[in-house]
Amino acid sequence: MKNTQVLLAARPDGEVKETDFKIASSVIDEDIAEGQLLVKISYISLDPALRGWMNAGTTYIKGVEIGTVMRAFSCGEVIASKHPDHQVGSFVSGLLGAQEYAVSDGTGLSKLDVSSGKLSWHLGILGMPGMTAYFGLLEKAKPQAGETVFISGAAGIVGSTVGQIAKIKGCTVIGTAGSQEKCDYLTGECGFDAAINYKEEDVADALKTHCPDGVHVFYDNVGGPILDTALGHLAKGARVVICGAISQYNKKKIYGPSNYMKIVTARGYITGIIVFDYIKDYPKAVADISGWLESGQMNTKEDTVKGIEQFPSALKMLFSGKNFGKLILEI
Ligand SMILES: NC(=O)c1ccc[n+]([C@@H]2O[C@H](COP(=O)([O-])OP(=O)(O)OC[C@H]3O[C@@H](n4cnc5c(N)ncnc54)[C@H](OP(=O)(O)O)[C@@H]3O)[C@@H](O)[C@H]2O)c1
């Protein structure tokens, strides 16, 4: 059976280029071994993390080797199985890669309940980004009702999920996004109290207006100057969660915060999150978020691009803000 795959062809020097990938074709052996399963992939997740995985070396995970299938979360249907835990016709997600079919021994796979919602949600709000939002906010920042939560990159899947959970927990929620349309989505469908278009507005001035008593929780997806500005507006006892720094991923030298002494006067803390540390607790988060989606307390938005050949151009959308919602590649 023909298997179209996206291979890493070169390590990017700065911004991701389409030539950093090669679309290749291989033949997948349907005669799988004992203990294996064969998955027909329906959706591939395009996440900012992929940019880091294209680099050489190891951070929290090893960089993808040149010439191999690009690492990516994907989900699909089990079409053959010699694995005791996975039946034909069931659905799974995991790091199955940017390809049409994947053979797996089951390691790291999640079995999906597709009785409600959309299958692709398991790559977004019910998948890795949703888990990042849930644990980064609730376990790392521990927001209290009445506190003010400020989120950068708020119209993305992580940011919009953080903000909606914070609203459910009784917080005042403010976020930044890169267009008026995204800001309207935040204050409309997502129920944020205010949204700041960081490309048009002065974020420091806007924070003075929207957060007169300071920021109790800053959930940072962007890094760079926005991190510095937020540090300048911390309330006493503030918690800063560094989730990501998408504004810096294509840069050779990362912009560091100069306002970091504000954490001292705030008697606060800065902490980081790696979502994989919470894998054993994912079922609780999936149950909570599913409940909020079903009750209408929460919603999610997807931006779907069709065709595996579009993988390189679609990945670039993340770094220019062209995506509006969780970016998904439909196979
Ligand atoms: N630590 C973890 O375990 C973990 C897990 C998952 C994700 N993350 C991180 O969480 C962050 C958000 O991920 P996501 O999946 O929700 O991505 P996403 O928001 O759907 O996509 C990226 C968005 O970031 C914004 N952006 C891009 N370049 C920017 C820049 N230079 N300055 C400001 N904003 C910029 C764009 O929106 P605008 O139009 O608003 O600019 C873009 O749409 C990323 O930093 C990611 O690496 C961390």
Distance (angstroms) between ligand 1 centre and the Cα of 246 equals: 5
Q: How far apart are CA 41 and CA 76, in angstroms?
A: 4
Q: Name the residue type at position 309.
A: E
Distance (angstroms) between ligand 1 centre and the Cα of 291 equals: 25
Residue carrying structure tokens 């994907």: 74
Residue 23 pLDDT: 98
Residue 16 pLDDT: 95
| DSSP assignment letter at 3 | E
CATH topology of domain 129-273: Rossmann fold (3.40.50)
Q: Where in the chain is the domain with CATH 3.40.50.720?
A: 129-273
Distance (angstroms) between ligand 1 centre and the Cα of 1 equals: 36
Q: Which of 59, 121, 158, 165 to mutate to test the pocket of ligand 1 (most atoms within 8 A of CB)?
A: 158
Structure tokens, 306: 């069709």
Q: How far apart are CA 88 and CA 218, in angstroms?
A: 44
Q: How far apart are CA 34 and CA 209, in angstroms?
A: 62
Residue 18 pLDDT: 96
Nearest CA owner, ligand 1 atom 24:
153
**Strands, E, within the chain: which ranges?**
2-8, 21-27, 37-45, 74-81, 91-94, 101-104, 110-111, 148-151, 172-177, 194-197, 215-220, 234-242, 269-272, 302-306, 326-330
**Ligand 1 atom closest to 326 (CA):** 20
Q: Where in the chain is the domain with CATH 3.90.180.10?
A: 2-124+300-330
Nearest CA owner, ligand 1 atom 32:
247
Distance (angstroms) between ligand 1 centre and the Cα of 314 equals: 14
Residue 116 pLDDT: 83
Task: Give the containing element (helix H, strand E) for 14.
Answer: none
Nearest CA owner, ligand 1 atom 28:
319
Distance (angstroms) between ligand 1 centre and the Cα of 195 equals: 16
pLDDT digit string (tens) for the chain, length 331 residues: 999 999 999 999 999 999 999 999 999 988 999 999 999 999 999 999 999 999 999 888 999 999 999 999 999 999 999 999 999 999 999 999 999 999 999 999 999 999 889 999 999 999 999 999 999 999 999 999 999 999 999 999 999 999 999 999 999 999 999 999 999 999 999 999 999 999 999 999 999 999 999 999 999 999 999 999 999 999 999 999 999 999 999 998 999 999 999 999 999 999 999 999 999 999 999 999 999 999 999 999 999 999 999 999 999 999 999 999 999 999 9
CATH topology of domain 2-124+300-330: Quinone Oxidoreductase; Chain A, domain 1 (3.90.180)
pLDDT in tens, 243-299: 999 999 999 899 999 999 999 999 999 999 999 999 999 999 999 999 999 999 999
Structure tokens, 201: 């507005």
The binding-site residues of ligand 1, defined as CB within 6 angstroms of any ligand atom, are 47-49, 129, 132, 153, 155-159, 177-179, 182, 221-222, 243-247, 273-275, 318-319, 321, 323, 327
Nearest CA owner, ligand 1 atom 45:
244
**Ligand 1 atom closest to 52 (CA):** 47
**Ligand 1 atom closest to 272 (CA):** 1
pLDDT in tens, 192-224: 999 999 999 999 999 999 999 999 999 999 999
Residue by residue, DSSP assigns 15-50 as: S--GGGEEEEEEE--SSPPTT-EEEEEEEEE--THH
Q: Which of 221, 275, 282 to mutate to test the pocket of ligand 1 (most atoms within 8 A of CB)?
A: 221
Residue 52 pLDDT: 95
Nearest CA owner, ligand 1 atom 30:
247
**Ligand 1 atom closest to 325 (CA):** 20
